Structure formats: C-alpha cells, structure tokens
Amino acid sequence: MFPFPNLNTKTLKPVVMPRSSALASGSIIQNRYRIVREIGSGGFGRTYLAEDLNRYSEHCVLKEFVPQSQSHKELGKAQELFQREAGMLYHLQHPQIPRFRELIQSNSEGNDSLLLVQDYVEGLTYSQLLGQGQRFSEAEVVQLLRQLLPVLEYLHSQQVVHRDISPDNLIQRSSDSKPVLIDFGCVKQVAVTATSNSQIGVVGTVVGKKGYAPDEQLREGNAYPSSDLYALGVTVLVLLTGKEPGDLYNISRGTWNWQQEVSLSSTLNSVLQKMLAYRPRDRYQSAKEVLKALGTYNPSHKTSAPVVTRPQPAQPKSILSPAHTLVMAPGKKILTTFTSFFQKKQQSTGNELQVIRNVMAIALLTIIAIVAVTKLGSFLFELPKFKLPEIPQLPEIDLPEIDLPNEPSPSLNSSEQERQQKIVERIQALNQDEGSFYQQVNDLFYAQHPEIQGRSLTSQPEDAQLRQDWYQIAEELLERLEQG
C-alpha cells in the first residue's frame, strides 16, 4: 500500500467516542476548513459542505467518520482500517472520481473524530433527478453505461470495488453532464468492521443498499467487480422505469421483471439480463466485457458526441448525376458508390441482379438508338465527339493527432493557445517526459470518451468541447504531479 500524504499514524490519537451532534455551520476545522452546512448523514457518519480557506474559499466535502462502536479497542482498529482505505483512495486518479485530498483529525466538544477531505462536485444526484420527475430513455442509459463502465474498469484495475453503486451515489456533473461516482463503500466497511467486531451476533457486512447490492454482498460480505456491475444494472432499471428495485424484482421466482414497465431493444435486454444474473460467475466479469457486448450498438435518438463534418469538393456539371461518396475511416481513401457497389456485387440478391440486367438492357437500347440517329443525320451536320468527364481523385482524410503540440495551433483562438502554452510550460517545469505525459492524458481521455475511441481530435469548432475535456484532464494530472 502506498503511503498516505499528510498522515502520521503515530501522531493520531485513538478516537475517544463517536460524535453525537453535527458540526456547527461556521466552525473551522484545523484552521483551514470552514463548515458551510451538513449535506448528508447515515449510520456511518455525516457529510459536510465546507470552504477551503487555503484555496480562496474553494468548496470541498468533509466526510466525518462516526463508527457505531464506542469501545476504545474497536475504535482504534477502525481508525487503522480507515487510514488504510483513505490511503488507497488518495491514489485514485480519474476525472469522474472526486479527488481525495487528505485525512485529518478533529476535536470538538471533547470528542475526536476523523474526517476525509475530497473535492466537491457541483450537480444533482441521479436520485434527485428522478425526484424531479425526470425519466431516462434507452439512449440516455446506454450513454450512461458508456461513460461509467470505463470508470469501473479503472477502479477494478486498481483492486478497488465500489460496493455501493446506486442513483444516490452518482452525480450528474453540472459542467459537462457526465456521471461522477461518489461515496465508496470500502470506507463505510470500516464502520461495519468496528460494529461487527464489538457486537455479538453481527455477521458479515451491510455495506450496499438493499435492492441494489447482490446477494453475495449483503449476506456473505463478498464483493467482486461483478457485484458492482450488478448494482449498475439495477441502477439502469430504476432510471428507465422510475420504480424502486423492490417493485421490479419477483421474490418468489428470483427474477427481474422490467419488460412490463419499459420496452427495450434486444441488445440492451440481453446485456441487462447478464449483468443481473444471480450467481456472480454467470455475470460479466469485467466492465470491459459489458462495453464489448454493447459494441457499436446505437439506440435510436441517441445523443452522441459531435460528428466532424468536412465540405466535399464540388462535382463538375455533367449529363450524369453527381456521384455520391462514402466516407471511410480517417486515413483511408474516399470510395465512390460505384467502387463500393462492385466490391459488394457478390452479395447481391437475385432481385438486385435482375434490376442490373434491366438497367444494362435499357442502356444498350439507348446506345443503339443514339448510333442510329447519328448515322441518319450525318449528312446534315457532324456531331462533336462526346467524352465523359473524369471523376476527380479526392484527397485522403488525415485528421491531426490528439497529442498536445509543442507549439499551440495557430488556428485556435488566443485563449485556447494560451491554455496550451501553460500546459507545455508546466510539463517542462516538472521535467516530465512530454511523450509519456501526453500518453497518460490520452488514456484517461479515451476512458472518459469511449464513444470516439480510435479517432483523433481536430482544431475545428465541432471538437471544441472535447478539446476542453482533454485540457482539463491534463491540468488535473499536472496538479497532482505538482503536489507530489
């Protein structure tokens, strides 16, 4: 386990007793964090919105650890576990996970407590969105899956299982409408451990919401990556139907019944069936498998990332209709529909072949008629020789790479060029290898935008928001490196 900055386990005294009252608004913790208000509470502690006085009153979140046990021995053990989990969370780096800043100890009214400090995410939880009457379409939940599954893939690669995925623990970030994953259950596990070790008859864990967490987690205390996928599947059903999990699950049969509430495509039905399988081994074993199962599936009316469009060169006027073009992947040549047609001629059906024969017959008769008329009128005038115009060779599409250039692109506005230049200067000040740094940013960027995986960004206005996302990821990574 990596060491946790700003934390000296020898200097932290054992927690004396769990706090019985909330921290007062306006109170200042460790001469730095001013409490604004309480924004949540539960059996494991309270959550506060606070201002960081060392960062120009920037908003942050304080999560106070209040275990149920009052035994000095068990509280000491719980504190040790809490420090370990906090250290693990501190090293998570993903733009859709709030950054964990530090673990601090506070003393108020004679009571010691531990508080976890993390970034504040502006936005509404998906539970609040449902409470406002919003219902999510199939296109919207598929987009949610594509945006959130890479986050889970990253977490699981770090040997972290969230344990508590639900609409309450997903925030739709106001700045870009992307889902952000909050309230990791592994921290709540600490309070459960303290309680279960001090109370006779308490077995296993109760971390995870009933109806969302799978049976192996609620009854046995076992949580796997597939357990998170199960909870995400339940969350999708709730967003689609607006109903609680208990209203969608048939207890007597042990099956989920959402088909009576919402009509979904066969693809999404199949994906949800496997995500919600009762036995862990029958589910997808990784978030990457779910993304693969979704593949290129695009439900109708899906809201997708902006498509880069380019004007096509004008076709010369001719007695023939202008040839339409089929744009292939970046870096490949543009093929005419004629070329595409003959490449696929082996797949033509009998009806298509009959149509071709009819067209060719008509064309042949037309040519014969033209020749006959030409010969008949040759004594009156000479017809000019007719030559069909050649279809020009269209250029290859070659999109620029996403990597940040050493010199800002002159086609960007001054503000964006200045932002690029500052990123370059910060990389150089840290003596970072630029190629390695850009690769890290690219990996995080494509994890956040899997829908454009495989294509590069352009300097065109259509990619403006995507470029802003890239800059934000780069700046957040630089900030972490600068803080050591």
Catalytic residue ranges? 164
Other CB atoms within 10 Å distance of the CB of residue 354? 11
In one-letter notation, the amino acid at residue 18 is P
Angle in degrees, CA 87, 89, 94, rounded to 5: 140
Question: Does residue 197 contact residue 205 with C-beta atoms inside 8 Å?
Answer: no
The residues pairing with 172 across neighbouring beta strands, listed in sequence order, are 124, 179
- Helix %, strand %, coil % of the chain (to 5): 45, 15, 45
In the block, residue with structure tokens 């024969």: 357
Question: Does residue 122 contact residue 472 with C-beta atoms inside 8 Å?
Answer: no
- Residues 165, 412: Cα–Cα separation, whole Å: 40
- Residues 478, 432: Cα–Cα separation, whole Å: 10
In one-letter notation, the amino acid at residue 338 is F
Which residues, at least 6 apart from 344, have a Cβ–Cβ distance to it below 8 Å? none
Question: Does residue 124 contact residue 171 with C-beta atoms inside 8 Å?
Answer: yes
The residues pairing with 180 across neighbouring beta strands, listed in sequence order, are 171
Total residues belonging to the chain? 484
Closest CA to 437 of 466, 467, 475: 475
Question: Does residue 29 contact residue 50 with C-beta atoms inside 8 Å?
Answer: yes
User: Beta 58-65 vs 255-256: how paired, if at all?
Assistant: unpaired
The SS3 of residue 106 is strand
